Amino acid sequence: MIWIMLNSKAAAVLLIYSIFLSCLPALVILPEGPSADFISFAGILSSDVVTLESIQIYKTHEWLKAKPTVYFKCQGANMTILPDVKETHTLYTFKGEESWQPLTELADKKCKRCGLYEKDSVTSDDVFDEWELCRSDFTAPSGKYVRFKDKEFNATFMCPQCVSLDAGSDHTSGPHKGAATGKGMNLVSMILISVLVSTVSIIGAIAAYRYWQRKKREQDQARFLKLFEDGDDIEDELGLGHVI
């Protein structure tokens, strides 16, 4: 019974020890992995704002001589009126901090159908131009995009974050792709080494336990034989053996 209990305890200790060793790779890798995953996840959810840096209109569509109301609008979004744009052939520049800015936001890598319009008091609103506004339209290093339509307008839009995200994506697909592959190989190597170390440690623990069992049996046997020898010595001293 005692022998079974010892074996059960030893098996439990070895099981706990093996579980601890198998968790070591995760403990080593976790500090880097979640932070990288978090950065990537934050990049996916980020929305990049588009602002208007400058605009110049070359014509108005109102038949009457009233000041035009020019606005920017993307499909499914609210219009953004450009309150200062009233005169033709006048270059209007902006800081991007005006109360009506930004014009829109580009989420993920999807384009938006946007346009520049002029309100019409009689019929439907007039269209300067409509186009697909995409992150890829903005060029490095400042994230600038120029939209020009002959005899209609010339506008410059800004989206610095769009350039940063696209550059980061290209960088990842280029040199960083090799770095990511190297990290993957390092991860596999660390896992294999950890499994090997765990296996060797478990085998060593089992061997040490068996060696301890063998030594304990030898000690018990030696103690048992010594008890018999001591008993014989006592009988010889008392002379009990001759009496029997």
The string of pLDDT tens digits covering residues 17-68 is 555 555 554 444 444 444 444 433 444 445 689 999 999 999 988 776 678 9
pLDDT for the residue numbered 228: 73
Please state whether beta strands 144-149 and 80-81 pair in parallel, antiparallel, or not at all (unpaired): unpaired
Please state whether beta strands 112-118 and 153-158 pair in parallel, antiparallel, or not at all (unpaired): unpaired
Q: What's the Cα-to-Cα distance from 23 to each of 16, 129, 185, 236, rounded to whole Å?
A: 11, 60, 19, 63
User: 47-171 maps to which CATH number?
Assistant: 2.60.40
Q: What is the pTM of this model?
A: 0.51
